[in-house]
A = this chain, B = another copy of it.
Amino acid sequence: MNIAQFVQQSIGRWRSQRSGHNLAFSHFEEVRSTIDIVALDIEDPKVIQLCQSYSIDSAKAISPFRMSWEGESDWDDETLSGSTILVPIPDPDRPNRGKLLREKGYAETMAAIAEYRITDEGTFILDTKYDRAAAEERIWFATPNLRFRVSSIKTSEGTGVLTASFSSEIRSLSDKSSAKEAPESKVVPS
């Protein structure tokens, strides 16, 4: 699987169950959310602008997309919502590796450099280095309509993992466009 195929398979609306583990205190958090992943045009001004902000030629970008989410945690009553643009920049010299540009989130005070790779098994692994911490995200498809995602954050020395989370993301079957693409796949038995 290459990055274009991975993004293509991710396009759609997803119903997500996320469990957060606070490893120091053995706490659980439960979040239910809806995630929309929408393909963007390579010529979209926001894509070009994001590439420019990283001083990268936008001609090197492929399969840019917007991800937005709206969810509710059992920890507070606030609705968690947001949206970001993501732009893969494949490495011309190393197959299935590259950078992933992302709009700066409100939680990030500095630009983050994210490196992705896709394993032979089809697992997308994203490593993001921050000033004092490093995040790893692993995403893979159990079926065409079910994604799993494991995220973890460790100290920049790499020895201490602070939090981990697991999401199971089911394609929303009311999303007709994707149901049409994979008509024989069901996430849950009828």
Q: How far is the CA of A58 from the CA of B85 in the complex (A)?
A: 55
In the assembled complex, the CB of A158 is this many whole angstroms from the nearest CB of chain B, namely 7
Q: Does any Cβ of B come within 8 Å of A121's Cβ?
A: yes
In the bound complex, residues from chain B placing their C-beta under 8 Å from that of A152 are: 142, 148
This protein's copies in its complex: 2
Q: Does any Cβ of B come within 8 Å of A4's Cβ?
A: no
Q: How far is the CA of A189 from the CA of B166 in the complex (A)?
A: 21
In the bound complex, residues from chain B placing their C-beta under 8 Å from that of A186 are: 159-160
Q: Does any Cβ of B come within 8 Å of A170's Cβ?
A: yes
Instruction: State which of B28, B136, B150 has its C-beta within 8 Å of the C-beta of A17.
Output: B28
Q: Does any Cβ of B come within 8 Å of A44's Cβ?
A: no
> Per DSSP, are chain A's interface residues mostly helix, strand or loop, or mixed?
strand
Q: Does any Cβ of B come within 8 Å of A76's Cβ?
A: no
Q: Does any Cβ of B come within 8 Å of A107's Cβ?
A: no
Tally A residues with Cβ within 8 Å of B: 39
Given A26-B17, A143-B154, A150-B150: A188 and B168 interface contact (C-beta under 8 Å): no
In the bound complex, residues from chain B placing their C-beta under 8 Å from that of A159 are: 143, 184-186
9 smallest CB-CB distances across A and B, nearest first, come from A166-B166, A19-B19, A24-B188, A160-B189, A21-B168, A164-B168, A28-B30, A17-B21, A146-B161
Q: List 28 A-B contacts (CB under 8 A).
A: A15-B26, A19-B19, A19-B28, A21-B166, A21-B168, A23-B146, A23-B170, A26-B32, A119-B120, A121-B121, A121-B125, A123-B123, A136-B142, A142-B152, A142-B161, A143-B159, A143-B160, A146-B161, A148-B164, A150-B150, A155-B189, A159-B184, A159-B185, A159-B186, A160-B187, A164-B166, A164-B168, A166-B166
